[in-house]
Amino acid sequence: MTIHLPIVWNELLRLGRRRITYINRTGPLLIALAFLSFAMAISWYTDEIFTPSPETFGSFMMFLVAIIEVLTGFSAPMVACATLTDEKDENTLGLLLMADLRGWDVVLAKFVSVFLLSEMLLLSAMPFIGFAMIFGGVDLHTVGMHAAMMTSFLIMACAAGTYFSAVSPQSGLAVTQTALLLGLWFVGTSYVDYNSAAWGLPIGQPALGVLTPIWGASGIPLAQMLPGVFLNMIIAAACLFEAVRILPRQIHARADAPRTAKVRGSERGRRWARRSSEPLAKLAASSLRSMGFSRRSIPMRILAFLGLLTILMFPVAGLFMLWILVFRETILALKKAREQGALDDLVLVPVSDEALGVAFWRGHTCATRMYFAAIVIWFAFYAWFMQFDRNGVRMLLIFLPITIAAHINVTALSCVAGTARFRYGMTGSLWAYLFVGGAVIGLLMPLYVEYLIGMFPTTRNLVYRTGAGYTVLAIAVYIGVNVLGHLASALLAVRCLGGRLRRCAGLQGT
Amino acid sequence: MSVAISIRHLCKKYRNVNAVQDLSFDVHEGDIYGFLGPNGAGKTTTMRILATLLRPDSGEAHVMGHNVVTHPHAVRPLIGYMPDSSGAYRDMLVVEYLEFFAAAYRVPIDRRRRVVDDCIELTGLVDKRDALIEGLSRGMRQRLGLARCLINDPQVLILDEPASGLDPRARIEVQEILRALGAMGKTVLISSHILSELRTLCNTIGILDGGKLVYSGSIDEALARARTKLRLEIRLADRHDEAGKMLMETGGIVEISVGEEILGVELPHGTADFSFVAEALVRNGFRVLTIKEEEVLLEDAFLHLTGAGA
Ligand SMILES: Nc1ncnc2c1ncn2[C@@H]1O[C@H](COP(=O)(O)OP(=O)(O)OP(=O)(O)O)[C@@H](O)[C@H]1O
Ligand SMILES: [Mg+2]
């Protein structure tokens, strides 16, 4: 059980060549800075001139640190998810194991390199920590505890990512599964945390400091942290051991082996394929499927589905997670299709660009229908949950059509994003990040505007401020505007999709 | 001569496909063993088992006396395996890639550079030394794969269709490399669909069909087996028609075909001495230019043995 340094070196070298690494390194920092300026602007606008005491400034800095940490905690396992699936993609896993390397050499080296990368990402928090310490918001003890907890979390998350990348045939799936595990971890630790006082146990903050960063670590004695750290270490060890155990079996999972799913799948899509663009849409669906949407066994599907469900427990975050996955998978599948020429037969079909775009998008909708099902189940779950809420029905009525329209919009946009030329697959995540970043700002804006000017028709207001003069008509208009907005965006995307597909396959539009 | 690769009653089944059934053969040390068979015959499967990447369902396989299933770690340093779809990290340079694998094979750091340079030179990649793998052509990648599997100086080379995607010159170069390796005493197991290449390269071949070995032995014997009849090609100065008629009356001849230039004469299978044909022709005053036994091509042998031919 040694760390094979050449693999670590190789991994870091290759990560260093990928654009996504630079984005991962600078992205969190930039977002923190953007947040800083946004907060400044808001406080200036609201005339609450920002004259903080050193203490509040320090804790504000720690809040920025927390943003960086959360983003790192999110992106590091993503990178880990691609480590071993990449080897499978490029057919090099067998070659590695044929060299004089044992499973441990490979798994541990991959894990260490991703962990090192994530620690490097954390370094971008250093200036803020420095400020915080200068202004006295935090002391060395807090920062130390923080770093220790974050490290223990990252060890766990990276190990989980490495494990799932060993199991999955494809990185998108590994991301889903990692999200499942982290989701369970989050729910479990929150539960323990919430109940530990009631149980009279000093479990306190089991590794949760990451999620409650500012107040989490301060003033808690080290001993109380240990259970959480211990839990993380156990999960990490279990993941790594299991990854080593199953690794040799993974070489045999030949990526190109089962082609049967393709045929079966396109037959199943008969219902939606009755209209004129049928054969084309079928072709699109099957080329997408053969490019990665299909490579799933039943247990994997169930696991992925559970993962989605767990994520969806957290309403808005869950939806965004889901859409990130749709984005990533589409972009990766399209990239691969382009590389292997799987798109060529599709774009050569002599139809107009519009028809091609519509057909492709329908094929894509069919290939990603699992996500649609996840949304429906999410609503079923909420419908059950909402019976305890006086405003539940109203909430559902507003949310359901908007979410469905938004989902349609997302699938269309992800197709268009996938036609952009990327050199590396991971760059696809950039689009997902950008999209989600834009959407989050789009969601936050009305909230801030509402904060500034009082009443504003946000979903929350419509649901909870029933007495405040929102009529049924107002609600209907709100829903209508949102739904139409999404659909118009989707329509625009689909219209330009065909031409883009042809261009990205190197053809002129017809 | 000792046995380098020995396979006994090897079976491998994928769900409902019998990829390899009861396969047994030996490859001797220093042999260049050609492995042929139609698509889906099970060549890749057999090679992956030998390369310790796939577990057989039953049967045994030994490489240099080590069992590939029970002692894969003893086998791995001894072999160089080149898969059919050669894997490579796209975002690395050629030299980095080879150095990485040299490190993975634990070539000492002071020798690494030299070993890598040797492999690059041997496979003709000197120009591409500092090129990104992503930008290599298919043939170049194939050479890179070959360079990679030479990096640990293996005694046994298992090459799955190494010549696919190579231009004719590169193919000859690869043949030369392989011949040189053979001369160095290395054992080579090579699968290929290019039969003419195997004809000049290999001393022994095995033909696989539907997961079963239909032939294993020397090329000459395979050709002899494919020979179901003896056909002579006779060139005369003139009067082909008359000669044909005359020979038909002589007897001991199955069929005669008269062409512009050539008189084809088919003799019964197993005829060893066909001098009587020449004698009859000369006796009757025909002016004989050449008499030649028609060659059996490896292609014919292949078709014959895999049951695809007539
Ligand atoms: N991973 C797999 N899953 C299912 N069946 C497989 C798998 N790999 C190979 N097979 C099947 O096993 C049989 C033998 O395949 P193999 O790849 O060994 O053939 P081959 O002789 O190398 O063919 P080719 O000349 O086309 O390379 C084929 O019928 C193939 O379909
Ligand atoms: Mg093959």
Percent of all residues in chain B with a pLDDT value above 70, rounded to a whole number: 97
| B20 and B127 housed in the same domain | yes
- Choose, out of A2, A14, A95, the residue to mutate when testing the contact with B (most B CBs < 10 Å): A95
User: What CATH number does residue B280 fall under?
Assistant: 3.30.70.980
Classify residue A265: in a domain, yes or no: no
Whether residue B54 lies within 8 A of chain A, CB to CB, comes out as yes
| A307 and A389 housed in the same domain | yes
| B35 and B114 housed in the same domain | yes
Mean pLDDT check: name the lowest of A265-279, A280-294, A338-352: A265-279
| A347 and A486 housed in the same domain | yes
Q: What are phi and psi of A442, to 5 degrees?
A: -60, -35
Contact B87 A91 (CB under 8 A): yes
| B171 and B46 housed in the same domain | yes
| A309 and A426 housed in the same domain | yes
Angle at CA of residue A157, ends A156 and A159, nearest 5°: 65
What is the b/e burial string over A475-506, where b = at least 16 CB atoms within 10 angstroms of the residue's CB? beebbeebbeebeebbeebbebbbbbbbebbe
Classify residue B91: in a domain, yes or no: yes
Domain count, chain A: 2
Q: What is the CA radius of gyration of chain A?
A: 24
CB atoms within 10 A of CB A460: 14
The closest alpha carbon to A406, from A348, A482, A354, A335, belongs to A482
Please measure the distance between the N-terminal and C-terminal CA atoms of chain B and give it in whole angstroms.
37
CA of B246 to the centre of ligand 2 (A): 52
Q: How far apart are CA B119 and CA A342, in angstroms?
A: 34
CA of A345 to the centre of ligand 2 (A): 25
CA of B191 to the centre of ligand 2 (A): 8
Q: How confident is the model at residue B9 (pLDDT cuts 50, 70, 90)?
A: very high
3-state secondary structure of A446: helix
CA distance A507 to chain B (A): 21
User: How many distinct helices (H) and strands (E) make up chain A?
Assistant: 21, 0
pLDDT tens per residue across span A195-247: 655 554 444 454 444 444 433 444 556 666 677 788 889 989 999 999 998 88
Question: Across residues A415-432, what is the average pLDDT?
Answer: 61
Classify residue A29: in a domain, yes or no: yes
| B47 and B195 housed in the same domain | yes
| pLDDT for position A283 | 60
Residue nearest to atom 29 of ligand 1 (CA): B40
- Among residues B199, B218, B237, which one ends one of the domains? B218
List the domain range (segments joined by +) for residue A162. 1-255
| A283 and A251 housed in the same domain | no
Q: Which ligand is nearest to the CA of B206?
A: 1
Amino acid at B271: T
Query: Taking CB atoms and an 8 Å cutoff, what residues of chain A touch B82?
Result: none
| pLDDT for position A452 | 55
Q: How far apart are CA B171 and CA A11, in angstroms?
A: 34
| A314 and A208 housed in the same domain | no
| B190 and B278 housed in the same domain | no
| A295 and A359 housed in the same domain | yes
Domain count, chain B: 2
- Among residues B200, B218, B236, which one ends one of the domains? B218
Question: Across residues A243-258, what is the average pLDDT?
Answer: 66
Q: How far apart are CA B288 and CA B193, in angstroms?
A: 39
Classify residue B308: in a domain, yes or no: no
Classify residue A134: in a domain, yes or no: yes
Classify residue B211: in a domain, yes or no: yes
| pLDDT for position A270 | 44
Contact B53 A424 (CB under 8 A): no
Classify residue B309: in a domain, yes or no: no
- The verdict on pTM exceeding 0.95 is no
| B81 and B204 housed in the same domain | yes
Does A248 or A45 have the greater pLDDT score? Answer: A248
Contact B105 A91 (CB under 8 A): no
CA distance B91 to chain A (A): 6
| B37 and B62 housed in the same domain | yes
Contact B91 A17 (CB under 8 A): yes
Classify residue B310: in a domain, yes or no: no
Ligand 1 site-directed mutation target among A254, A256, A259, A260, most atoms within 8 Å of CB: A254
Q: How far apart are CA B42 and CA B125, in angstroms?
A: 31
List the domain range (segments joined by +) for residue B256. 227-299
Classify residue B112: in a domain, yes or no: yes
* Beta partners for residue B66, in sequence order: B63
Ligand 1 site-directed mutation target among B11, B21, B23, B44, most atoms within 8 Å of CB: B44
Classify residue A272: in a domain, yes or no: no
* Beta partners for residue B17, in sequence order: B14
| A219 and A329 housed in the same domain | no
Does B52 or A285 have the greater pLDDT score? Answer: B52
Distances (CA, A) of A341 to A192, A284, A337: 51, 13, 6
pLDDT at A475 over 70: yes
- Among residues A221, A255, A289, which one ends one of the domains? A255
Whether residue B40 lies within 8 A of chain A, CB to CB, comes out as no
CA of B29 to the centre of ligand 1 (A): 27
pLDDT tens per residue across span A294-338: 444 455 555 555 555 555 555 566 677 677 777 777 777 777 777
Q: Which atom of ligand 1 is nearest the CA belonging to B48? A: 18
Classify residue B305: in a domain, yes or no: no
CA distance A90 to chain B (A): 5
Classify residue A269: in a domain, yes or no: no
Instruction: State the angle between helix axes of A54-89 and A126-135 in degrees (0 to 180), rounded to the nearest 10.
Output: 160
- Which member of A6, A94, A424 has the closest CB to residue B83? A94
| pLDDT for position A155 | 92
| pLDDT for position B287 | 84
Would you list the DSSP string of B116-169? HHHHHHHTT-GGGTTSBGGG--HHHHHHHHHHHHHTT--SEEEEESTTTT--HH
pLDDT at A10 over 60: yes
pLDDT tens per residue across span A90-137: 778 888 888 877 888 889 888 998 898 888 878 877 777 777 777 766
Q: Are A314 and A380 in contact (CB under 8 A)?
A: no
Whether residue B141 lies within 8 A of chain A, CB to CB, comes out as no
Q: How far apart are CA B185 and CA B18, in angstroms?
A: 34
Query: Would you put residue A505 in left (φ > 0), alpha (ψ -120 to 50) or beta?
Result: alpha
Both structure tokens of A480: 């209508």
pLDDT at A265 over 70: no
Mean pLDDT check: name the lowest of A322-336, B26-40, B289-303: A322-336
Q: How far apart are CA A281 and CA A366, in angstroms?
A: 9
| pLDDT for position B33 | 92
| Contacting B residues, span 70-99, partner chain A, CB-CB under 8 Å | 73, 76-77, 79, 81, 83, 85-92, 96
- Only one residue has tokens 């039943």, namely A298
CA B94 and chain centroid, separation: 28
Contact A90 B106 (CB under 8 A): no
| A412 and A442 housed in the same domain | yes
**Long-range Cβ pairs for the range A461-465 (8 Å, 24+):** A462/A394, A462/A398, A463/A391, A463/A394, A463/A395, A463/A398, A464/A391
Average pLDDT, chain B: 84
Classify residue A189: in a domain, yes or no: yes
Whether residue B113 lies within 8 A of chain A, CB to CB, comes out as no
pLDDT at B61 over 90: yes
Contact A99 B85 (CB under 8 A): no
| A228 and A364 housed in the same domain | no
Q: Which residues line ligand 1 (CB under 6 A)?
A: A 254, 257; B 14, 17, 19, 37, 39-45, 84
| B42 and B137 housed in the same domain | yes
Query: Taking CB atoms and an 8 Å cutoff, what residues of chain A touch B53?
Result: 94, 97-98, 251-252
| B84 and B197 housed in the same domain | yes
Both structure tokens of B227: 């020979």
Percent of all residues in chain B with a pLDDT value above 90, rounded to a whole number: 20
Question: Across residues B261-279, what is the average pLDDT?
Answer: 78
User: What CATH number does residue B142 fall under?
Assistant: 3.40.50.300
CA of B142 to the centre of ligand 1 (A): 20
CA of A156 to the centre of ligand 2 (A): 40
- Among residues B188, B218, B248, which one ends one of the domains? B218
| B199 and B231 housed in the same domain | no
Residue nearest to atom 13 of ligand 1 (CA): B19
Query: Taking CB atoms and an 8 Å cutoff, what residues of chain A touch B85?
Result: 91, 256
| A55 and A104 housed in the same domain | yes
Classify residue B23: in a domain, yes or no: yes
| B145 and B234 housed in the same domain | no
Does A501 or A49 have the greater pLDDT score? Answer: A501
Q: How far apart are CA B60 and CA A371, in angstroms?
A: 47
Q: How far apart are CA B239 and CA A103, in angstroms?
A: 77
| A159 and A296 housed in the same domain | no
Residue nearest to atom 1 of ligand 1 (CA): A257
| pLDDT for position A354 | 83
CA distance B100 to chain A (A): 6
CA of A252 to the centre of ligand 2 (A): 14
| ipTM for the whole complex | 0.73
Residues, CB-to-ion distance under 5 Å, ligand 2: B 44, 84
Q: How confident is the model at residue A158 (pLDDT cuts 50, 70, 90)?
A: very high
Q: How confident is the model at residue A274 (pLDDT cuts 50, 70, 90)?
A: very low
| B54 and B126 housed in the same domain | yes
Amino acid at B208: L
Contact B105 A100 (CB under 8 A): yes
What single-letter DSSP state applies at residue B229? S
| A212 and A359 housed in the same domain | no
Question: Across residues A469-497, what is the average pLDDT?
Answer: 81
- Among residues A255, A290, A320, which one ends one of the domains? A255
